[in-house]
Structure 1
Amino acid sequence: MTDVLIVGAGPAGLSAAISCAERGLQVQVIDEFMRPGGRLLGQLYQEPDGSWWNGIEEAAKLQDKAASLGVELQLGISVIDLNHSDDGWMVYTSTGILKAPALLLATGAAETACPIPGWTLPGVMSIGAAQVMTNVHRVRVGMRGVIVGINVLSMAIAQELELAGIKIAAMVLPAKNMINHDAGDPRKVMQSIVRLGHLAPSPLLRLGSGLMRYTPLQSLGLHLYPKGGFKVWGIPVQLRKAAVEIEGIEKVESVRVANLSPDGNIVPGTSRSLPVDFVCMAGGLYPLAELAAVAGCPFRYIPELGGHIPLHNARMQTPLAGLFVAGNITGIESAKIAAAQGTVAGLSIAAFHQVSGTEEDLRESIQNLRITRAKASIQFHPQVAEGRQRLESMYSENFS
Structure 2
Amino acid sequence: MPALKEIEVLIIGGGPAGLCAAAAAAELGAGVLLLERDDKLGGQLVKQTHKFFGSKKQYAGERGYQIGNVLIEQCSAKPKVEVWSEATALGIYDDGVVTAEKDGQHIKIKPKKIIVSTGASEKMIAFPNNDMPGIYGAGAVQTLMNVHGIVPGQRVLMVGAGNIGLIVSYQLLQAGVDVAAIIEAAPAIGGYLVHASKIRRAGVPILTSYTIKEAYGKESVEGAIICQLDEHWQEIPGSEQDLTVDVICLAVGLSPLTELCFQADCQMKYVPELSGHVPLRNEYLETTRPGLYVAGDVSGVEEASSAMVEGRLAGISAAYSLGYGQDTAAKLQEDALAELSELRAGPAGQKTLQGLKKLTEKGGAGC
Q: When the two structures are superposed, what TM-score results if normalisation uses the length of structure 1?
A: 0.80
Deviation for aligned residue 1:270? 4.0
Choose the corresponding residue for 1:337, options 283, 289, 306. 306
Is 1:197–2:200 an aligned residue pair? no
Choose the corresponding residue for 2:25, options 20, 31, 53. 20
Q: Structure 1 stretch 264-273 or stretch 54-63: which is displaced more?
A: 264-273
RMSD: 2.4
Deviation for aligned residue 1:18? 0.2
Choose the corresponding residue for 1:370, options 341, 344, 348. 341
Is 1:61–2:70 an aligned residue pair? yes
Choose the corresponding residue for 1:143, options 154, 157, 161. 154
**Pairs within 5 Å for 1:283-322:** 283-322=252-291
**Runs ≥4 residues deviating over 6 A:** none
Deviation for aligned residue 1:262? 4.4
Aligned to 2:354: 386
Distance 1:241-1:324 versus aligned 2 partners, 3 A rule: closer
- 3-state SS in 2 of match to 1:115: coil
- 3-state SS in 1 of match to 2:97: strand
Deviations 1:27-85 (Å, cap 9, x if unpaired)? 11001111111111222224569x74422111111111111102111111112211132
Distance 1:14-1:311 versus aligned 2 partners, 3 A rule: same
Aligned to 1:110: 121
Aligned to 2:101: 94
Q: Determine the C-alpha separation between the residues in 2 that align with 1:135 and 1:353.
A: 40
Aligned to 2:3: none
Distance 1:244-1:101 versus aligned 2 partners, 3 A rule: same
Aligned to 1:76: 86
Distance 1:118-1:200 versus aligned 2 partners, 3 A rule: closer
Q: Structure 1 stretch 362-371 or stretch 313-322: which is displaced more?
A: 362-371
Deviation for aligned residue 1:312? 0.5
Q: When the two structures are superposed, what TM-score results if normalisation uses the length of structure 2?
A: 0.87
Choose the corresponding residue for 2:220, options 251, 254, 257. 251
Aligned to 1:126: 137
Distance 1:264-1:231 versus aligned 2 partners, 3 A rule: farther
Deviations 1:243-262 (Å, cap 9, x if unpaired)? 21111111111112234444
Q: Is the 8 A contact 2:52 2:64 kept in 1?
A: no
**Pairs within 5 Å for 1:176-195:** 184=185, 186-187=186-187, 190=188, 193=190
Q: Determine the C-alpha separation between the residues in 2 that align with 1:61 and 1:392.
A: 35
- 3-state SS in 2 of match to 1:360: helix
Provide structure 2 residue ranges, at least 5 long, that are not aligned to the other structure. Answer: 1-5, 55-59
Q: Determine the C-alpha separation between the residues in 1 that align with 2:42 and 2:17.
A: 9
- 3-state SS in 1 of match to 2:353: helix
Q: Is the 8 A contact 2:53 2:61 kept in 1?
A: no
Q: Is the 8 A contact 1:48 1:199 kept in 2?
A: no
Is 1:161–2:168 an aligned residue pair? no
Q: Structure 1 stretch 359-368 or stretch 323-332: which is displaced more?
A: 359-368
Deviations 1:201-244 (Å, cap 9, x if unpaired)? 37xxxxxxxxxxxxxxxxxxxxxxxxxxx936432111244321
Q: Determine the C-alpha separation between the residues in 2 that align with 1:65 and 1:264.
A: 47
Aligned to 1:227: none
Aligned to 1:30: 35
Q: Is the 8 A contact 2:9 2:112 kept in 1?
A: yes
Distance 1:333-1:268 versus aligned 2 partners, 3 A rule: same
Q: Is the 8 A contact 1:327 1:339 kept in 2?
A: yes
Q: Determine the C-alpha separation between the residues in 2 that align with 1:73 and 1:235.
A: 43
Deviation for aligned residue 1:141? 0.9
**Pairs within 5 Å for 1:202-213:** none
Deviations 1:171-191 (Å, cap 9, x if unpaired)? 124xxxxxxxxxx4x43xx2x
Q: Determine the C-alpha separation between the residues in 2 that align with 1:139 and 1:15.
A: 30
Q: Is the 8 A contact 1:114 1:282 kept in 2?
A: no
Q: Determine the C-alpha separation between the residues in 2 that align with 1:125 and 1:258.
A: 20
Distance 1:232-1:109 versus aligned 2 partners, 3 A rule: farther
Deviation for aligned residue 1:390? 3.7
Deviation for aligned residue 1:313? 1.2
Q: Is the 8 A contact 2:52 2:63 kept in 1?
A: no
Deviation for aligned residue 1:11? 0.4
Deviation for aligned residue 1:265? 3.2
Q: Which amino acid in the other structure matches residue 268 of structure 1?
A: P
Distance 1:308-1:91 versus aligned 2 partners, 3 A rule: same
